[in-house]
Amino acid sequence: MGDCIFCKIIFGEIPSVKIFENDKIIAFNDINPKAKVHILIVPKKHIESVKHLQAIDKELVGELILSAQQIAKEKNLEGYKLLFNVGREGGQLVDHLHLHLLSPEW
């Protein structure tokens, strides 16, 4: 966790453009966007990836998805993509669970 860029964002050590925050989740713009809207929705609890989820985390995963729904509504997105990358082979670049919210257009 010490070198985790998302943990550093959560603790305010690295600046970000926050889109949403509550006691369990933070959402911010991706610094390397792949769409016009590309937001990362991140649990404040450090979990390395989907592979590392446990049964106790199921409510948190639901909150990630519901947060994405709320953000999409606030951004007036009629359609959008939600994406979890898992492991390096799956495209995951940061070892902290995060959900990508992407608009369909650039």
Q: Which residues are catalytic?
A: 98
**Quick check: 1 and 46 in contact, CB under 8 A?**
yes
**Quick check: 100 and 62 in contact, CB under 8 A?**
no
Nearest CA-CA partner of 104 in 5, 35, 11, 33: 35
CA-to-CA distance for 55 and 57, rounded, in angstroms? 5
Record the tokens describing residue 31, joined without a space: 């610094």
Ranges of beta strands (E only) in the chain are 18-21, 25-29, 38-43, 81-83, 99-102
